[in-house]
Chain A
Amino acid sequence: MPKVKVATIWFSGCSGCHMSFLDLDERLVELAQKVDIVYSPVVDIKEFPDGVELTLVEGAVGNSDHREMLLEIRKKTKLLVAFGDCAVTGNVPSMRNPLPREEVLRSVYGEGEIPGLEEGEVPKLLPQALPLSMVVPVDGFIHGCPPPADRIWRFLQRLLSGESPTLVGEDLRFG
């Protein structure tokens, strides 16, 4: 049986969801028999490939790069999954949303030239950090900050066995 092409990516978040993914521990070996990780912060591939079956997106959409990348991923991926609370709700990155973008950047960088204020070497910070579903259609959701490894495993197992991966009950707990 051909392996399922899986990608993961990390936007405006803390990488905690990816750490939790690695917490699958020995289950990663079982997973590796069924899937190929074709793009991810944990593998060294620069271009997002075509024909990806599943992409787990960690983090909110916080800057112009995230936005462009998400639109590209949506075109190249069959199932796009919001991976963790930041991707599902905006979560901690969205705490800046009530404040003006420039004020946020100035409080971090002080006076003078501010990276991210305009498009440059550093991508432009969007006015608000948004959940993925406010930018593109999303096919699945894994709640949690970070999602516990067992929850990620339940989601992946259902998906790989061809069932609807929709989580229920306690697996829908935020935070």
Chain B
Amino acid sequence: MIHLEIDGRAITARPGQTILEAAEGAGIRIPTLCHLKGLSPWGSCRICLVEIANWNGRLVPACATQVQEGMRVVATSPRLTELRRRVLELLFAERNHICAICVSSGHCELQDLACELGMEVVRVPYRFPGLALDASHGKFVYDPNRCVLCGRCVRACSEVEGAMTWGFSGRGIHTTVEPDLGGPWGSAETCTECGKCLEACPVGALVERGKATAEQEKEPQLLAQLTERRPRA
């Protein structure tokens, strides 16, 4: 067993566990966004940043950092709240997140995080990008205006369904997720229409056709339920 400290509490964890798993086991809440049980650790969104006190206060993503003997983790502090809030503000400013007209309003992890992290206002200028909605698929709709680039759809599609329809394209601020190397989702030959990407999506970017404001509920826990029943690739 590995002995570590999280927020001053002595904790034991199994080797190979992440800081996030150890914290969850001890009932210590660390907010996450790109992390989803059942999918591989990603570490891209930086919402779960924690501080390692005996590594000179170095910041690491809790979801993608394994526990080490003697580690002293700070998971809750004003500095971390401020950093996580900044990250959240950048996510809100990057695309067009308009909760009032979103099908996922009230069931959205981004909206929940704004409440949890006390985000009163976005302090950076909004980008207001012009992104086209893809409603070419018979069952689902992809609205890149609401995408946070967490990659949960990409991982669900490749790791759980094995279809590899979704992938990233572009770099930096121009990054988007696309079905079948671009082109409309409706003509993506690899898509099996399983809907796992939709259940994994934490926001209103991937939704069912025909849903109106605040109607889209999701079951992201399905991904873990599926993967726990079979060995991971």
**Interface positions of A (Cβ within 8 A of B):** 82, 85, 88-92, 94-95, 97-99, 128, 131, 133-134, 138, 141, 145, 166-175
Bound-state CA distance A34–B124 (Å) is 36
Minimal Cβ-Cβ distance residue in A for B122: A89
Bound-state CA distance A101–B163 (Å) is 42
Say which residue of B96, B114, B126, B214 sits within 8 Å of A172 (CB atoms).
B114
Which 6 A/B pairs are nearest by Cβ-Cβ distance?
A: A175-B99, A98-B130, A145-B100, A97-B128, A174-B99, A175-B105
Say which residue of A88, A98, A166, A172 sits within 8 Å of B115 (CB atoms).
A172
Q: Contacts of A141 on B, CB cut-off 8 Å?
A: 120-121
Q: Is the CB of A85 within 8 A of B126?
A: no
Interface residues of B, CB < 8 Å — how many? Answer: 27
**Interface positions of B (Cβ within 8 A of A):** 92, 96-102, 105-106, 111, 114-116, 118-123, 125-126, 128-131, 214
Q: Contacts of B125 on A, CB cut-off 8 Å?
A: 134
Q: Contacts of A173 on B, CB cut-off 8 Å?
A: 99, 106, 111, 114-115
Minimal Cβ-Cβ distance residue in A for B93: A89
What is the predominant secondary structure among interface residues of chain B facing chain A?
loop
Q: Contacts of A95 on B, CB cut-off 8 Å?
A: 96, 98, 101
Say which residue of A94, A131, A167 sits within 8 Å of B96 (CB atoms).
A94
Bound-state CA distance A133–B126 (Å) is 11
Q: Is the CB of B123 within 8 A of A133?
A: yes
Q: Contacts of A90 on B, CB cut-off 8 Å?
A: 126, 128
Say which residue of A92, A128, A171, A172 sits within 8 Å of B100 (CB atoms).
A92
Q: Contacts of B97 on A, CB cut-off 8 Å?
A: 174
Bound-state CA distance A134–B127 (Å) is 12
Minimal Cβ-Cβ distance residue in A for B115: A172
Q: Is the CB of B114 within 8 A of A174?
A: yes
Bound-state CA distance A99–B97 (Å) is 16
Q: Contacts of A88 on B, CB cut-off 8 Å?
A: 120-121
With known contacts A98-B129, A138-B121, A141-B120, A174–B101 Cβ distance under 8 A: no
Say which residue of A91, A167, A172, A175 sits within 8 Å of B106 (CB atoms).
A175
20 more A-B contacts (CB under 8 A) besides A90-B128, A167-B120?
Answer: A82-B121, A85-B99, A88-B120, A89-B126, A91-B98, A94-B98, A94-B128, A97-B96, A131-B126, A133-B121, A141-B121, A145-B100, A168-B118, A172-B114, A173-B111, A173-B114, A174-B97, A174-B111, A174-B114, A175-B102
